[in-house]
Amino acid sequence: MAKLDSKVPSGPLADKWQKHKTEIKLVNPANKRKYEVIVVGAGLAGSSAAATLAELGYKVKNFVFHDSPRRAHSIAAQGGINAAKNYQNDGDSVHRLFYDTLKGGDYRAREANVHRLAEVSVNIIDQCAAQGVPFAREYGGLLANRSFGGAQVSRTFYARGQTGQQLLLGAYSALSRMIGQGGVEMHNNSEMLDLVVVDGHAKGIIVRDLNTGVISRHSADAVILATGGYGNVFNLSTYARQSNATAIWRAYKRGACLANPCYTQIHPTCIPVSGDYQSKLTLMSESLRNDGRIWVPKKKEDAKKDPASIPEADRDYYLERIYPSFGNLAPRDVSSRAAMRMCDEGRGVGETGLGVYLDFADVIKRLGEPVVRERYGNLFDIYHEITAENAYKTPMRIFPAVHYTMGGLWVDYNLMSNIPGLFVLGEANFSDHGANRLGASALMQGLADGYFVIPYTIGNYLADQKPGSRPKTDGMEFKQAEENVSSMSQRLLANKGKEPVSHFHKRLGKIMWDHCGMARNKAGLEAALQKIPALREEFWANVKVPGSGDTLNQSLEQAGRVADYMELGELLCRDALTRDESCGGHFREEYQHPDGECKRDDEKFGHVAAWEYQGEGKTPLRNTEPLNYEFTKMSVRSYK
């Protein structure tokens, strides 16, 4: 049974991080260069961590499967990044950002982690502005803000609809600087395929060079995973096609606990699916909900009509109606489920009936098309490319899609997993968003972890490791891990199947979406737990992976990732089935209030569920970490 000690420091909530920073161990500057740290992933969390640790003097090796660290999927985040700057003088504060984030997460996150996140949020904006991130500004030259879901203040900083891109390029520039100076050894096109654990500590990884197929061993004094979320287990999502769970899943199989996998976020505003060939779903930023109004026809028979022909009186602006104080800016989980209820009632729009309108007619009338174009032009362009429709003239059609995973590898307050020496940052960990993440908080967390948390907390671990004590890569553990990797590749390549990998990924995605998507129930989850192992068996019997392992082989890459989803998907359903309550992104139909809102069970489930691998074919162990709310009251979330 894994030991899950959150290591949350004692003392008043607002003082914990300060106190912790002054109490944890330091590594002296001359010793830092004797430590090697592996960072896997180069999104916001990975590149900010790699750059900062190198600045401090650690020897950093950064691995990324992309051809350049600038391509990590943080780049696609559109809307913004939250920070408690209170530049708008509208009553924001660290406490308010903390409270909104905790409440938005439906009281399933650690108080102390969330408070720290809110505290360092202000430093992130300073850091990024200094790096030359071209944030939106007012005419006076000061930074502009906008509002995002789940908040009643304007605290979101943005760079047009490309905030993720600009923040990532900022972190990439810091990383590039350190690569240029020799502080970071960069490994592009390099996918981590196993974690090496020596004497109970994470001390290395096994990597496949995607261009040459060469498998190599790398040792270090500590390993940091910043490899993103696992939303592609659903096949269709807003994730990039290559985003995958392989690094965290293989770490899980080496003993790292995977926490709350059932907390998955469905984003309410994505472009609806158009056909079976669909490879991804495109997000329309939440920022659009600042000015767009969401509606469906009041009458079912109007659902197929031209929206322009439906008079105002026959439209149901359902978010404004049900949640008058938050309106169109209700949190993501709440808005997604509301959209689904409208479609279930037969009032969904578009060819498939799986869509709702996001209408800009009012704001265009109020402010004029040029202002709307300046605010959201690139999003309207994306919408036009995909649907061939002009959203300045006719409302957008949107539908919820898988967007983010709040669950991830379990970490303590220091962001260290239950395997000593293994740290997990950004979306790959479970720590800050509870059961639902608010908009513009992912960028905040990724950069908080990488710039401002790990640089302190990793020292606390390394100070206890003797400099130069990291193992050589010729030991048993490295050899065994490498064999594990190459035998899996060989097995996939030698398989005499008939179907391409995508065939199985699509089918798994359908099972996941149908039974473990926006709403879940016991019978459906039990069915999924039958169907997934059967599909997994079929995958291994019938998958076809052409080509060889000693060259660029995209089928082989994809096959390994989908093989992992086949296992992860099952764990996700198992977690969802065990959690007999509804909270945030985990909605169990059996547990709801009469108005369709989540019904939590704090008594029984006011804890983190951290799953521990027990070996192939064995049921994993469910460990729990109680969530002790010392400073806030777990209350029923209301956005009405």
Partner 1 sequence: MVAEQTSKKPFSVTLRVWRQAGPTVPGKFVDYPATNISPDMSFLEMLDVVNDELTKKGEEPIAIAHDCREGICGTCSCTINGKPHGPGKGVATCQTYMRSYREGDLILVEPFRARAFPVIKDLVTDRKAFDKIQQAGGFISVRTGAAPDANSIPVPKEDADLAMDAASCIGCGACVAACKNASAMLFVAAKVSQLGLLPQGQPERDKRVLAMVQTMDDAGFGNCTNQYECSAVCPKLISHDFIARLNRDYMAALFKARFRPTSNAAAGGA
List, by residue number, the catalytic residues: 332
The conformational region for residue 43 under phi > 0 = left, psi -120 to 50 = alpha, else beta, is beta
Token digits of residue 177: 């600087």
**Between 486 and 502, whose beta carbon lies closer to partner 1?**
502
In single-letter form, the type of residue at position 435 comes to A
Token digits of residue 439: 């908009």
Q: Are strands 356-359 and 156-157 parallel, antiparallel or unpaired?
A: unpaired
Is the Cα torsion angle 19, 24, 30, 34 positive or negative in sign? Answer: negative
Among 30, 313, 388, 476, binds partner 1 (CB under 8 A): 388
Distances, alpha carbon 208 to alpha carbons 211, 250, 423, 560, in Å: 9, 14, 21, 12
Determine the interface stretch with partner 1 among 289-297, 539-547, 590-598, 623-631 (rule: CB under 8 A): 539-547
Could you say which DSSP state residue 429 is in? B
Given a contact cutoff of 8 angstroms between Cβ atoms, the answer to whether 503 and 251 are in contact is no
Q: How far is the CB of 37 from partner 1 (least distance, A)?
A: 15
Residue whose token pair is 């001359």: 30
CA 399 to CA 166: how far, in whole Å? 27
Among 88, 484, 502, 632, binds partner 1 (CB under 8 A): 502
Q: How far is the CB of 141 from partner 1 (least distance, A)?
A: 3
Per-position x/- string for 503-532, each x denoting binding to partner 1 as judged by CB under 8 A, each - no binding: x-----------------------------
For partner 1, the binding residues in 234-293 under the rule CB under 8 A are 240-243, 274-275, 277-280, 282-283
Cβ contacts of residue 617 below 8 Å, gap of 6+?
none
For partner 1, the binding residues in 54-113 under the rule CB under 8 A are 55, 66-71, 73, 75-76, 85, 87
Is the Cα torsion angle 228, 233, 239, 244 positive or negative in sign? Answer: positive
For partner 1, the binding residues in 541-560 under the rule CB under 8 A are 544, 546-547, 551-552, 554-555
Kind and range of the H or E run holding 125: helix 111-131
CA 81 to CA 124: how far, in whole Å? 9
Verify binding: residue 227, partner 1, rule CB under 8 A: no
Among 48, 86, 235, 405, binds partner 1 (CB under 8 A): 48
Beta strands in 42-153 (DSSP E): 59-63, 81-82
Token digits of residue 489: 């590749």
Per-position x/- string for 176-205, each x denoting binding to partner 1 as judged by CB under 8 A, each - no binding: xx-xx-----x-x-----------------
Q: What is the dihedral of CA 544, 550, 554, 560, to 10 degrees?
A: 60
Verify binding: residue 125, partner 1, rule CB under 8 A: yes
Q: How far is the CB of 555 from partner 1 (least distance, A)?
A: 6
Q: How far is the CB of 403 from partner 1 (least distance, A)?
A: 13
Verify binding: residue 162, partner 1, rule CB under 8 A: yes
Verify binding: residue 592, partner 1, rule CB under 8 A: no
Q: How far is the CB of 449 from partner 1 (least distance, A)?
A: 12
Among 382, 444, 462, 525, binds partner 1 (CB under 8 A): 382
Among 90, 344, 381, 601, binds partner 1 (CB under 8 A): 381
CA 142 to CA 136: how far, in whole Å? 9
Q: How far is the CB of 69 from partner 1 (least distance, A)?
A: 8
Angle at 46 between CA 132 and CA 485, to 5 degrees: 150
**Between 162 and 582, whose beta carbon lies closer to partner 1?**
162
Among 150, 439, 455, 459, binds partner 1 (CB under 8 A): 455
Determine the interface stretch with partner 1 among 102-110, 175-183, 531-539, 618-626 (rule: CB under 8 A): 175-183
CA 424 to CA 435: how far, in whole Å? 18
Verify binding: residue 451, partner 1, rule CB under 8 A: yes
Verify binding: residue 539, partner 1, rule CB under 8 A: no
Determine the interface stretch with partner 1 among 88-96, 252-260, 407-415, 497-505 (rule: CB under 8 A): 497-505
**Between 241 and 366, whose beta carbon lies closer to partner 1?**
241
Q: How far is the CB of 127 from partner 1 (least distance, A)?
A: 5
Q: How far is the CB of 611 from partner 1 (least distance, A)?
A: 29
**Between 282 and 592, whose beta carbon lies closer to partner 1?**
282
Among 132, 200, 346, 626, binds partner 1 (CB under 8 A): 132
CA 291 to CA 446: how far, in whole Å? 27
**Between 521 and 555, whose beta carbon lies closer to partner 1?**
555
**Between 387 and 521, whose beta carbon lies closer to partner 1?**
387
Residue from 413, 551, 498 nearest 110 by CA? 413
Determine the interface stretch with partner 1 among 120-128, 326-334, 401-409, 601-609 (rule: CB under 8 A): 120-128
Q: How far is the CB of 311 from partner 1 (least distance, A)?
A: 28
Beta strands in 526-589 (DSSP E): none
CA 204 to CA 223: how far, in whole Å? 7
CA 423 to CA 52: how far, in whole Å? 15
CA 141 to CA 495: how far, in whole Å? 61
**Between 499 and 538, whose beta carbon lies closer to partner 1?**
499
Residue from 316, 34, 60 nearest 177 by CA? 60
Determine the interface stretch with partner 1 among 258-266, 420-428, 451-459, 589-597 (rule: CB under 8 A): 451-459
Distances, alpha carbon 599 to alpha carbons 56, 92, 331, 519, 636, in Å: 46, 29, 16, 13, 8
DSSP H stretches of helix in 265-368: 318-322, 332-344, 361-367
**Between 331 and 455, whose beta carbon lies closer to partner 1?**
455
Verify binding: residue 174, partner 1, rule CB under 8 A: yes
